[in-house]
Structure 1
């Protein structure tokens, strides 16, 4: 059964989001454990990649140019579009925070399931995650909330726990464990790593369901914005990287479309205003539909 779910993991991610929406109480019970799942997924993903291969991409300009487009580029575009839309300030803060968000650490596993270069996707994920803290600070200063102030000590502590610690711990484990021992551990766990991803759509969409129960019309607006954002991230990255070939374009597109909104909430929490979690929940539906659509698109191309 588990092997079947792993083999068909891409559509099951979307099913997990639907189940979370249908079972709001169960979704709410899973949500408090998501930071632990996030930390575990980040660590396992880092351990599964050869550091030298990832570093080869990270020292090049292509990955960092991508990360600037992924974050600052889309933030600038959305700020420009807001001049004509004049979105509510709380919702705009949430939209900008989503744009600042780095790629999901499950992206390499998703990219591998699609048959693309997971190493490059890992480098893109790391680069966008490292830029996230600076972009979030810019976002908070551009769109400040009335009842929240940036506590640099608490913010720095969260960065240390959820961004720096997995990087350092993965490095230490590679130094302390023999290559054979580490390979045996990864061989038993790596193919099931993608199962951890199911917890995110299931646990996050509950906040969108709460909005749906309270104000369905507003929930439809959030859902529309979520689909438009996902389409913008996906198609924007694909069009920019199309000149590097179809596989590179689709890798950039799926990496841009998968946003680690839980990490953003974990490190910035109360700074993001009341609209962020409902929007992050709504993002789970288009975000986890993208991998299956990308697989179909890849077959057609």
Structure 2
């Protein structure tokens, strides 16, 4: 059964997102537990990476150039589009908050399933995640109206727990456990991480369903905006890296489009306004479709 789930994980991710929309009660019940799932997913993903090779990748200027594109360039482009389309303040803050968000920690697993460079995707993911405190603070300073009532102590505690905590655990375990034994254990555990990945589209889409029940027309607008955001993130990253070859371009594009919005919400909370969670929910369906699209593009595009 698990082998079937792993083999069809890309399609199942989309179906899980749709199921969460159809079962909003269960989706909303799971939502409070998602930060715990996020912590373990980040830790398990990092444990599965060879630390020395990962650190070498993180020393590369190319990785940090990607992170700047992922965060600040996308924030600028999204803010310009939002201004041109006359988004209200709450919606503007929500879409810029999404653009400030680092890549999803499940992305390397998806990249691996597509046959691309998962280690490179992990380096990009970590770099964009490390920039998150700066990018999200910039988004709040520029686009949140009035005084920013940010509890810095709570903010940094959340940063330590959700970003630096999993990284520290990974380095400690790799430092004290024999590599061969660790890899055997991880080989048994890693297939189950896909079940953790499924929790996010299912648990996050419920807030979008609430908006749909309250105002279907506004929900449709949010859904179209979510599709537009995915297209911007994916399209710009692909164009920027196209000269590096198809595999690199598709890896960068998918890494850019997959956004760890729950991490941003866990760190910044309600500071991102009432539109952020419904927008996050709306993003789950187009985001979950992207891996299937990338698999198709990989077949039809030429290097």
Q: TM-score interval w.r.t. the shorter chain?
A: over 0.9
Unpaired runs of at least 5, structure 1: none
Distance 1:147 1:34 in 2: 29
Alpha-carbon displacement from aligned partner over 1:77-120 (angstroms, at most 9, x marks no partner): 12222332221000000000000000000000000000000000
**2:15 matched to which residue of 1?**
15
Question: 2:250 maps to which residue?
Answer: 250
Tell me the CA shift for residue 175 of structure 1: 1.5
- Report what 1:120 is aligned to: 120
Equivalence for 1:134: 134
Is 1:232 aligned to residue 232 of structure 2?
A: yes
Q: Which residue of 2 aligns with 1:177?
A: 177
Q: Which residue of 1 aligns with 2:52?
A: 52
CA offset at residue 194 of structure 1? Answer: 2.0
User: Partner of 2:202 in structure 1?
Assistant: 202
Residues 25-64 of structure 1 correspond to what in structure 2 (within 5 A)? 25-64=25-64
Residues in 2 aligned to 1:208 and 1:150: alpha-carbon distance in whole angstroms: 26
CA distance in 2, matches of 1:118, 1:169: 20
Q: Please identify, of 280-289 and 144-153, the stretch whose mean Cα deviation from structure 2 is larger.
A: 144-153
TM-score (norm 2): 0.97
Q: Please give the alpha-carbon distance, in whole angstroms, between the structure 2 residues aligned to 1:296 and 1:239.
A: 18
Confirm or deny: 8 A CA contact 1:42 1:166 kept in the other structure. Answer: yes
More displaced 10-residue stretch of structure 1: 96-105 or 53-62 = 53-62
**Given that residues 254 and 294 in structure 1 are in contact (C-alpha distance below 8 angstroms), is that contact kept between their aligned partners in structure 2?**
yes
1:192 is matched with: 192
SS in 1 for 2:149: coil
Mean Cα displacement is larger for which, 175-184 or 287-296? Answer: 175-184
Contact 2:238–2:252, Cα closer than 8 Å, also in 1: yes
Counterpart of 1:98 in structure 2 is 98
Q: How many residues align?
A: 301
